[in-house]
């Protein structure tokens, strides 16, 4: 966990808006809960949101979103945020920040979704449209997006250490075999756009169905495997099978996707176990699915 993460308050956001966007100074500012980890989100009036990086490692994402969202939006099958303005670092706050159009919806939860198979279809359709989008000028994966879409091997030392630390509750041999299989191939086709964080918190649901995708801070062009992790940590049964068959990707890409899922689940389980987080049991269940189910 980051120790330098900022505590961003409603009064701070009001001050930033008043200083830099006086035309919006009279609008109410309300913190969105949950408001995100990389960025804290606040609602500005009824039609806008403000997203502010919570630490320096996320600061580069603001300019990137402002550049790529207008390019990607007309090419995608679902709505994404509209970039309206970019605020600057000031004496009140050390990073640039973004102002976006508000999209109505709630973060995806299984209980809210009327048809999980339909949800999987719409999500697969969105990912396919992302893969078809023009990549010219797109940023390659790298530190700016924590290497999502890049070489999974950059996380090898972290993954091996996590497997060792969890040796008392997982089969280390199985985890190591899955990891090695994931590292045995690479994306050899032209790079495609990746969102980088296709997770329930970034998928908005309204009236029981998927209606929008938000938070493109980890977007890049590269290997699409990182965007398939949701097959293990959210989708189940028929919905998972539909998601797998709806995307025309080869078996090695799914092997790398399982590697991305394993890495994230391992490091999250380690962090939760060290801190005694109340969601630890749920995270353990996700890790168990990844270790036992190959798509």
- Measured CA distances, 41 to 10, 51, 79, 103, 290 (Å): 10, 5, 18, 12, 31
Radius of gyration of the chain (CA): 19
Angle of helix 251-275 relative to helix 280-292, nearest 10 degrees, comes to: 150
pLDDT of residue 20: 97
Q: Among residues 36, 14, 13, which one has the least CA distance to residue 25?
A: 14
pLDDT of residue 34: 75
The first and second tokens of residue 82, run together, are 């509209």
pTM of the model: 0.94
Which CATH class for the 10-101 domain? alpha beta
C-beta separation of 117 from 242 below 8 A: yes
What DSSP assignment string belongs to 44-90? Answer: ETTTEEEEEESSGGGTTHHHHHHHHHHHHGGGSSS--PPEEEEE---
pLDDT of residue 35: 66
CATH number for the domain formed by residue range(s) 106-292: 3.90.1200.10
For the chain, 295 residues long, the average pLDDT of each consecutive 10-residue run is 74 97 98 83 97 92 96 98 97 96 95 95 98 97 95 97 97 98 97 97 96 96 98 96 96 98 97 94 96 88
C-beta separation of 133 from 72 below 8 A: yes
Measured distance CA(159)–CA(185) in Å, rounded: 17
- Domain ranges within the chain, ordered by starting residue: 10-101, 106-292
Backbone angles phi, psi at 135, to 5 degrees: -100, -5
């Amino acid at each position: 966990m980051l120790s330098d993460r900022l505590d961003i308050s409603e009064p701070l956001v009001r001050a930033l808006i008043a200083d830099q966007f006086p035309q919006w100074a009279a609008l109410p500012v309300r913190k969105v809960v949950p408001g995100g980890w990389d960025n804290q989100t606040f609602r500005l009036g009824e039609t806008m949101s403000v997203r502010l990086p919570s630490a320096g490692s996320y600061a580069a994402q603001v300019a990137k979103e402002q550049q790529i969202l207008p390019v990607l939006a007309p090419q995608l099958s679902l709505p994404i945020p509209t970039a309206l303005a970019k605020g600057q670092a000031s004496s009140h706050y050390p990073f640039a920040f973004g102002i976006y159009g508000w999209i109505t919806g709630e973060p995806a939860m299984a209980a809210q979704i009327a048809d999980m198979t339909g949800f999987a279809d719409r999500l697969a359709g969105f990912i396919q449209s992302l893969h078809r989008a023009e990549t010219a000028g797109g940023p390659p994966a790298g530190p700016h997006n924590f290497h999502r879409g890049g070489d999974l091997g950059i996380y090898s030392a972290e993954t091996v250490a996590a497997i060792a630390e969890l040796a008392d509750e997982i089969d280390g041999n199985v985890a190591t075999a899955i990891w090695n299989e994931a590292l045995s191939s690479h994306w050899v086709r032209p790079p495609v756009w990746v969102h980088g964080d296709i997770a329930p918190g970034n998928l908005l649901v309204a009236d029981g169905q998927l209606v929008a995708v938000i938070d493109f801070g980890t977007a890049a062009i590269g290997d699409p495997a990182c965007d398939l992790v949701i097959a293990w940590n959210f989708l189940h049964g028929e919905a998972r099978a539909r998601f797998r068959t709806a995307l025309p990707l080869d078996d090695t890409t799914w092997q790398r996707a399982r590697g991305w899922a394993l890495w994230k689940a391992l490091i999250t389980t380690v962090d939760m176990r060290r801190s005694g987080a109340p969601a630890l049991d749920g995270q353990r269940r996700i890790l168990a699915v990844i270790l036992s189910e190959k798509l």
